[in-house]
Chain A
Amino acid sequence: MTKQTSPFANAQGARTVTLSVQSWVGAQSNVAVASYILEHELHYRVDTVQVDEVPAWDALSQGRVDAILEDWGHPDQEKRYVEDKKTIVSAGGLGVTGHIGWFVPTYFAKQHPDVTDWKNLNKYAKQLRTPESGGKGQLLDGSPSYVTNDKALVKNLHLDYQVVFAGSEAAQITQMRQFAKQHKPYLTYWYQPQWLFKKVPMTEVKLPAYKEGCDADADKVACAYPKTPLQKYLNAGFSRNGGAAARLLKKFHWTLEDQNEVSLMIADQKLSPDEAAKKWVDGHRSEWKQWLS
């Protein structure tokens, strides 16, 4: 089908870049800073589209969006679009390494230091019980768009736990904050980079170490999640003809601390993404100037 942009783009004759935003705040931060620089330094108009990861790949291949700035690894999609169809090209790393794991709040880990090893988790199942988890302990999982092996992990590691899917990141965060307010123990699937660690300190629970290929069979997984250097992807046509905007997005590269700083402003201090981006941009001039060169 022919390529179309949004009917709201180019409404008043400006050059437009369309970025996809995923539901977590880190992704919002990338987009906020990139849009701020695109708008104020390069004078583009930026449209953002909120869309889940897999549909975002699909949209990227069709040119409905121009870029994904934070991808957590989708081998199927990469094979289909980057290798076979060549409609999407890699734009290098974001500079941030993602990590998924199981976490307990630090106040709980301090009281019971041995909870941080998966071998001892069954001892605590009773304390981590909720009405929703039946007689077992609750392992809180998040949005259906996340990469997760938790059901298989619970089964294969013989843990007395029930995976409860919060269904959305918003619900999961809200629940964790309520638990933290009351100093209640909980066990959750969670990931870095994440602003919530600054508000609710959490300690990771050690799972059996990750080895290359130990997660190949989805039903037999019994190891931790890998560390994922987060990647950027551009639409192939945009990468060729996108001019200054495409050059900037290829060079866009920052650190975990940078991203968390912006995320915290958005999610906790409730600044608008644009205001948060402005604050960061004002404070880190030397860093982003390189992206423009």
Chain B
Amino acid sequence: MTAATAPARATGAFAPLRATGRRRAAAKLLVLAVLAAILVPLAEAHWSGGTWPDALTVDVSGPLGRASDWIIDNRDSHPLFLYFFGYISNAVVVCVHAVYLVLLAAGWAGVAAGAGLIAWKLAGFRLALTTAVAFVLCGLLGMWVPTMQTLALMVVAVLASVLVGGVLGLAAGLSDRVHRALRPILDTMQVLPAFAYLLPVVLVFGIGVPAAVLATVVYAAPPMTRLTALGLRGADEGVMEAVASLGATGRQRLLTARLPLARGELMLGVNQSIMMALSMAVIASVIGAGGLGDRVYQALASVDVGAALAAGIPIVLLAVVLDRTTAAAGERLGSGGAAGAGDGSRGAARGPGGWFRLLRGWPGWLLVAVLTVAVAAAMRLAGRQEWPGSWEVDIAEPVNRAVDWMTGHLYTGVPYIGGTADWAGHFTTWVLDPVRSGLQWLPWWSVLLVVAALAWLIGTWRTALTAVLAMAVIGVLGVWNSSLDTLSQVLAAVVVTLVLGFAVGIGAARSRRLEAVLRPVLDVLQTLPQFVYLIPVVALFGVGRAPAVAAAVVYALPAVVRITTQGVRTVDTAALEASRSLGATGGQQLRQVQLPLARPALLLAVNQGVVLVLAVVIIGGLVGGGALGYDVVFGLAQGDLATGLVAGAAIVCLGLMLDRVTQPTERRAGKEA
């Protein structure tokens, strides 16, 4: 997912280019300065004072309140609800119910065997074993039933996401106009914090599974759309011309050439949809989705980290298994080994022959089905369908003891370095407070100017315009001050994430062993529901903005580490060889060759760090971060559409602005899962 192969601009051969670049930057700044010189006095004359002028705000609470009342009053009678949303809602319930019944009928052994066999078919023996073990672990943790509920929900949500995302992606892949029109919508869908649209969804559908599935689809469909469009657009020109010259019609070209050529991207899209959907499992529980997320959320109420972890681990296991399986399947498909998912009928077998070859294509799937049914039936006859309660391991208590010990010893009074509470205090007073008061002290027009300058230097005038408009919308919505508060937390968290992430990432790039040790840790950090570490974070850092920053760092770090490692490692080996032959030491190599050459990857890491940190702002609201995150949670808890949606919109605008200011390349390389 990194763009590490882009030519490095920092090398000597490009010196003249750099000079013109500098001259152009100076010209841009000059234009801005002139604009500012004309506009700022005007603005100051009209609306003096530092923060966004009241005259330029719009109060949307009235109309939004009326909209929510209208929905509540008409929900049971208006045809729109009866014949449209009602049917969607019923369809979702029926589908989830059906999948759930199938899973229950298969029994624990049937599900574990079936999942293992499918994994074997798609990804080989090792993953089959991992998958079966993962399911057994879910049972051992006492989470079998919630796991099945979550799985049923996920199956339906992912299918819907793939369907919706695929159709949109098809349209965007074939038509430039649709592609352009969809882009901002997809951006919004991904940046808008899920909490902000839970409330409107709940208003329309009521709490429960339909709302949860729809909220999940909104979040999980965009990657499928993007990747489908990317795959269709990236079809090899030569092949397309050849197909066209054979006289194929448009539809034939699509079905026989474009779609098959895009198999790799399509599968990656499915993979990404699954990961996004799983990350919604816990958030959706806030509106009554049930399953594992609900267990995590309920454990929070009794401040029980152990129980939350016991419900969180199955989510991690599901994520790891599904990710590895679909990724492996995608690689097989993408590399042209046509056997496998979806179209086994054209199984062009390769690899070691014999009877094994027969199992490629549909006979293999038949075998999977037969074996699964056999296992399920056998267990049913033996009367062992349900997970036996005596086979459960209680991890909650030891985990709680460990967390208590850790927080008890680290919180304060550690010799020489001080406790985590002291660090949090210093961080708040020395970093967060000055940054926040600095931002809030700046006159509003100067914030716009800085944003414009940064975005223009790094991109085109369009990027600058988007960024400035995004900031202006925040002002107009009347949440200028709390947005700057959030911005200060995001900036602090991004800096910490980048410092840690670059250090660890460079270390991992230079040592295979470290990377191998890190991989499972990063997996867990990326997929563990954030609600699980809410309590430990507060226990270590107290209530406030410091734990919010800590939670954000934990969440964003893995992506930054991964991108950095990959970027530094895939640096052109010839350049490295050359520098080594010139007698450069390891440190010199790193500073003068690897890092400059990995610059595109590092910039991508910065961008992803920003986007991911912003995604955890809501969680920050749950541990005392205040500002926009708190407003969004408040909106949901109090059924206050205006507060929640406005804060959500402000987060989107912040995201848009930060993205434009940190994204030098034309297109971003997809959102990290």
* A residues in contact (CB < 8 Å) with B: 1-2, 4, 6-8, 11-12, 21, 23-25, 28, 47-56, 58-59, 62, 64-65, 80, 130-132, 134, 140, 143-145, 164-175, 178, 181-182, 266-267, 270
Q: CA–CA, A2 to B208, complex, Å?
A: 14
User: B residues within 8 A CB of A55?
Assistant: 202, 207, 287, 636-637, 639
Taking CB atoms, residues of chain B closer than 8 Å to A266 are 302
Q: Would you call B567 an interface residue if the criterion is a C-beta within 8 Å of the partner chain's C-beta atoms? A: no
What is the size, in residues, of chain B's interface with A at 8 Å between Cβ atoms?
80
A166 pairs with B624, CB closer than 8 A = yes
**Residues of the A chain whose Cβ atoms lie less than 8 Å from the Cβ of B629:** 167
Contact B412 A182 (CB under 8 A): yes
User: A1-B81, A4-B93, A270-B304 in contact; A181/B408 too (CB < 8 A)?
Assistant: yes
In the complex, what distance in Å separates the CA atom of A11 from the CA atom of B145?
A: 12
Which residues of B have CB within 8 Å of A23? 300-301
Q: Nearest Cβ distance between residue B410 and chain A, in whole angstroms?
A: 11
**CA–CA, A1 to B208, complex, Å?**
14
Is B101 engaged at the interface, CB distance under 8 Å to the other chain? yes
List residues 231-268 of chain B with CB under 8 A from any CB of chain A. Answer: none
Q: Quick one: which of A12, A51, A62, A131 contacts B428, CB cutoff 8 A?
A: A131
Q: Are B542's CB and A6's CB within 8 A?
A: no
Residue in chain A with minimal CB distance to B427: A131
Q: Does B400 contact A (CB under 8 A)?
A: yes
Q: Is B208's CB under 8 angstroms from A64's CB? A: yes
- Is B85 positioned at the interface, with any CB of A under 8 Å from its CB? yes
Q: Across the interface, do A28 and B302 meet the contact criterion of CB distance under 8 Å?
A: yes
Smallest CB–CB gap between A18 and chain B, Å? 9
Complex CA gap A35/B307 in Å reads: 20
- Which residues of B are found within 8 Å of A8, using beta-carbon distances? 96-97, 100, 149, 152, 209, 290
- For the complex, give the distance between the alpha carbons of A219 and B534 in Å: 32
Asked if B622 and A6 make an inter-chain contact with CB atoms under 8 angstroms apart, the answer reads no
- Decide: A178 and B539 in contact? CB cutoff 8 A: yes
Q: Mark B30-64, 1 if CB is under 8 A from A, else 0.
A: 00000000000000000000000000000000000
Q: Which residues of B contact A267 (CB under 8 A)?
A: 302-304
- Whether A51 and B287, one on each chain, are in contact in the complex, defined by CB atoms closer than 8 angstroms, is yes
Asked if B425 and A6 make an inter-chain contact with CB atoms under 8 angstroms apart, the answer reads no
Pick from A47, A58, A143, A170: contact of B535, CB below 8 A. A170
- Contact check, B542 vs A175: say whether CB atoms are below 8 A apart: yes
A22's closest neighbor in chain B, by CB?
B301
Give the residue of A21, A52, A59 whose beta carbon is less than 8 angstroms from that of B298: A21
Beyond A6-B208, A59-B208, A132-B546, 9 additional contacts (C-beta under 8 Å) are: A1-B82, A6-B290, A7-B93, A51-B207, A52-B286, A165-B626, A165-B630, A170-B303, A182-B411
A49 pairs with B290, CB closer than 8 A: yes
Q: A49-B288, A50-B285, A170-B303 are in contact. Are A6 and B637 (CB under 8 A)?
A: no
Residue-wise, chain B 592-626 has the 8 Å CB interface mask toward A (1 for contact) of 00000000000000000000000000001111111
Name the B residues within 8 Å of A62 (CB-CB): 75, 206
Expressed in whole angstroms, the Cα–Cα distance for A25 and B302 within the complex equals: 6
- Across the interface, which residues of B come within 8 angstroms of A175, CB to CB? 538, 542-543, 624
Residues of chain A within 8 A (CB-CB) of B446 are: none
| Minimum C-beta distance from B584 to chain A (A) | 45
- Return B305 CB to nearest CB of chain A, in Å: 9
The interface residues of chain A lying within 8 Å CB-to-CB of B535 are 170-171, 174
Query: A4: nearest residue on chain B (CB-CB)?
Result: B93
CA A273 – CA B100 in complex, angstroms?
25
Interface of A is mostly: mixed
Q: In the bound complex, do residue B90 and residue A4 qualify as a contact, i.e. CB atoms below 8 Å apart?
A: yes
Name the residue of chain B whose CB is nearest to the CB of A12. Answer: B104
The residue from B205, B546, B621 contacting A131, defined by CB atoms under 8 A apart = B546
Q: How far is the CB of A261 from chain B (nearest CB, A)?
A: 15
Tell me the smallest distance from the CB of A194 to a CB of chain B, in Å: 12
B433 surroundings in chain A (CB, below 8 A): 131, 134
Known A-B contacts A1-B86, A7-B97, A171-B543; A25 and B633 likewise in contact (beta carbons under 8 Å): no
Chain B residue with the shortest CB-CB distance to A133: B544
Cα A58 to Cα B203 in complex, Å, equals 8
B608 to chain A, nearest CB (A): 26
The B interface is mostly helix, strand or loop, or mixed, namely helix
List the 9 closest A-B pairs by CB distance, nearest first: A145-B637, A132-B544, A7-B97, A54-B639, A144-B634, A131-B428, A7-B96, A131-B425, A49-B288
Measured CA separation A266–B429 after assembly (Å): 37
| Given A28-B302, A270-B400: A4 touches B637 (CB 8 Å cut-off) | no
Residues of A within 8 A of B515 (CB): none
User: Contacts A164-B624, A165-B626 hold; do A2 and B86 have CB atoms under 8 A apart?
Assistant: yes
CB–CB A6/B633 < 8 A: no
Q: What are 8 A-to-B residue pairs whose CB atoms are below 8 Å?
A: A50-B285, A54-B638, A65-B207, A144-B630, A166-B543, A167-B626, A168-B633, A171-B547
Q: Convert B517-545 into 0s and 1s, putting 1 for each residue whose CB lies closer than 8 angstroms to a CB of A.
A: 00000000000000000110011001111
Q: In angstroms, how far is the closest chain B Cβ from the Cβ of A257?
A: 19
Q: How far is the CB of A63 from chain B (nearest CB, A)?
A: 9
Considering the complex, give the chain B residue whose CB is closest to the CB of A56: B207
A2→B92 CA distance, assembly (Å): 13
Contact with A along B384-422 (1 / 0, CB 8 A): 000000000000110010000001100110000000010
B374 at the interface (CB under 8 A from A): no
Q: Tell me, yes or no, whether B294 is within 8 Å of chain A by CB.
A: yes
Closest residue of A by beta carbon distance from B426: A131
Residues on A with C-beta less than 8 A from B412 are 182
Bound CA span A51–B638, Å: 11
**B407, A1: Cβ atoms closer than 8 Å:** no
> Which residues of B in the span 624-654 have a Cβ within 8 Å of any Cβ on A?
624-626, 629-630, 633-634, 636-639
- The reply to whether B104 and A11 contact each other, CB–CB distance below 8 Å, is yes
B76, B152, B207, B638: most-surrounded residue (chain A CB, <10 A): B207
Known: A1-B75, A49-B288, A59-B206. A54 touches B637 (CB 8 A): yes
Q: Which residues of A contact B149 (CB under 8 A)?
A: 8
Which of B203, B206, B397 has the most chain A CB atoms closer than 10 A to its own CB?
Answer: B206
CA–CA, A175 to B547, complex, Å? 11
Asked if A49 contacts B301 (CB within 8 A), the reply is no
Complexed CA–CA distance, A291 and B91 (Å) = 39
- In angstroms, Cα B304 to Cα A25, docked, is 11
| Chain B residues within 8 Å of A174, by CB | 303, 535, 538-539, 543
Q: Does B89 contact A167, Cβ atoms closer than 8 Å? A: no
**Docked pose: A279 CA to B510 CA in angstroms:** 57
Give the contacts of B288-339 with A (CB-CB under 8 A).
288, 290, 294, 297-298, 300-304, 306-307
Chain B residues 122-176 with CB under 8 Å of chain A are: 149, 152
Question: Given A1-B85, A145-B637, A175-B542, are A167 and B301 neighbors across the interface (CB < 8 Å)?
Answer: no
- Which residue from chain A places its CB closest to the CB of B85 in the assembled complex? A1
List, in ascending order, chain B residues with CB within 8 A of A134's CB: 433
Q: Let me know if A52 and B90 touch, CB within 8 A.
A: no
Are B622 and A167 within 8 A (Cβ)? yes
Contact at B206–A58, with CB atoms within 8 Å?
Answer: yes
Shortest Cβ distance from residue B284 to the other chain A in the assembled complex, whole angstroms:
12
A11 and B148 CA atoms in complex are apart in Å by 12
Q: Are A165 and B298 in contact (CB under 8 A)?
A: no
Contacts of B301 in A (CB 8 A): 21, 23-25, 28, 50, 169-170
Contact with A along B177-221 (1 / 0, CB 8 A): 000000000000000000000000011011111100000000000
